[in-house]
Structure 1
């Protein structure tokens, strides 16, 4: 039994000693906001063989980061040398950032200053020595919320009512839906959604044409814009008034505000014209 136990320990020790470099954790933010002024930290944590750590020279150790399917690295660090920002990350990294004070791991991470949408994609960390290598990949989405978002309506002379929502400058590709009512929203059917891409951003519109006889009462319409990859959602609403041909403004809240202002202006005009009455 003693011999067997010693043999098991010997085999286990040999196997553990045979384990080379190993990435233990790849920390990449899943979602960051475009041009927000905040940095994104992508960290690649790994371990080396005890004898490699004890040598203090870390001969053959190289840390590389790759972006999407490019065969060329966007970052490289060899202990004893300065880290290099390359390709799409050139000039966008804080090369002085240290992940640790250890000579074998201090410049392993990417510290991206103010990431923008072109940096949205797959990041692969590859760590290698003369004897072994390991890699791990994760995705980071850099999303851009809408630059503009509005919903409006107008009534044609034929009585047909057109409900349209438009969003501009969104990334990545968004989704859009129109709903009837603000509470217990009912999704409108047969909505025509169009998406166009320009300069890495998307514009999207959703249009629904209704027969005027189907909306004879004051009705609220809600537009919902979503960016699924970023878990982002925002809404705009507008109130339809059957007695007029187009809204006074683009949103229900603004519409009500404008109506209140008009009423106040009328009252002030009446006061100034007929002071004796008051």
Structure 2
């Protein structure tokens, strides 16, 4: 007999890459101060905001002379930008982001930075990848890159036990419809869970997502009454995890 004991999930942050510059604060040209990209976003979320915060020369900001300022965003090291904005002109959504952006979004009220950000509506899995913000003037340029993963949580996560033969039982955990490629582990114990060895794990691509199954055959003589089993599903690229626990009674 199997009794569900609950589920939980969590998601955490990622890394960035940037151009290295020697900066003199008195004469510094364009410099990206912060690139805020959500490391993981759930597929079909209402929106995702990617912001590129930068500074210009004090003389440029004071006189509203932006010296050929151009803000461009690139996707997955592509040769052409997927977004471009020049102060005084309308922002442009291009390539894979064509029709996917809220171009009226303002990251600030300053003429030199109001349309620096990407406001993506309803992000989906094809938008997973590296986003590079490039800010340039006639005199200088800076860039920074971060990765965003648009993940799909499991459609289902189920555990079951079946009689394998007269003295053994098979514990099976199945998850369907996950993206990107997940991992799965079986654990044993109530207060202190330990990973089970020799677990058979099979991952199957399925129309843009993955199904995954983990199973383990155990002698009933090794099982106490009751025995608590847990299944942990993990999406490494999104640092997303969910778990489910069951109680087995021989």
TM-score (norm: length of structure 1): 0.75
Alignment-derived partner of residue 24 in structure 1: 33
Give per-residue Cα distances to partners, 1:205-252, cap 9 Å, x unaligned: 11101123323644232111122333332222333333xxxxxxxxxx
Unaligned runs of 5+ in 2: 1-23
Alignment-derived partner of residue 147 in structure 1: 155
Provide closer, same or farther for how the CA distance between residues 216 and 60 of structure 1 changes in structure 2, counting only shifts above 3 A: closer
Structure showing the higher strand proportion among its residues:
2
Alignment-derived partner of residue 184 in structure 1: 192
Alignment-derived partner of residue 274 in structure 1: none
Alignment-derived partner of residue 3 in structure 2: none
**Structure 2 residue 210 is the aligned partner of structure 1 residue 202:** yes
Question: What is the alpha-carbon root mean square deviation over aligned residues?
Answer: 2.0
Structure showing the higher helix proportion among its residues:
1
The whole-number CA distance in structure 1 between the counterparts of 2:141 and 2:102 is 25
**Structure 2 residue 70 is the aligned partner of structure 1 residue 65:** no
2:164/2:217 contact within 8 Å kept? no
Deviation at 1:180, TM superposition (A): 1.9
TM-score (norm: length of structure 2): 0.82
Alignment-derived partner of residue 57 in structure 2: 49
Unaligned runs of 5+ in 1: 1-14, 243-278
Higher RCO (Cα < 8 Å, 6 or more apart):
2
Q: How does 1:88-167 map to 2 (within 5 A)?
A: 88-167=96-175
Matched positions, count: 227
The structure having more radius of gyration, on CA atoms, is: 1
The whole-number CA distance in structure 2 between the counterparts of 1:41 and 1:120 is 14
Shifted more, 138-147 versus 233-242: the winner is: 233-242
Deviation at 1:114, TM superposition (A): 2.1
The whole-number CA distance in structure 1 between the counterparts of 2:169 and 2:191 is 22
The whole-number CA distance in structure 2 between the counterparts of 1:61 and 1:199 is 43
The whole-number CA distance in structure 1 between the counterparts of 2:58 and 2:226 is 75
2:179 to 157, 164, 171: 171
The whole-number CA distance in structure 2 between the counterparts of 1:198 and 1:89 is 25
Deviation at 1:17, TM superposition (A): 5.4
The whole-number CA distance in structure 2 between the counterparts of 1:63 and 1:128 is 7
Deviation at 1:46, TM superposition (A): 1.2
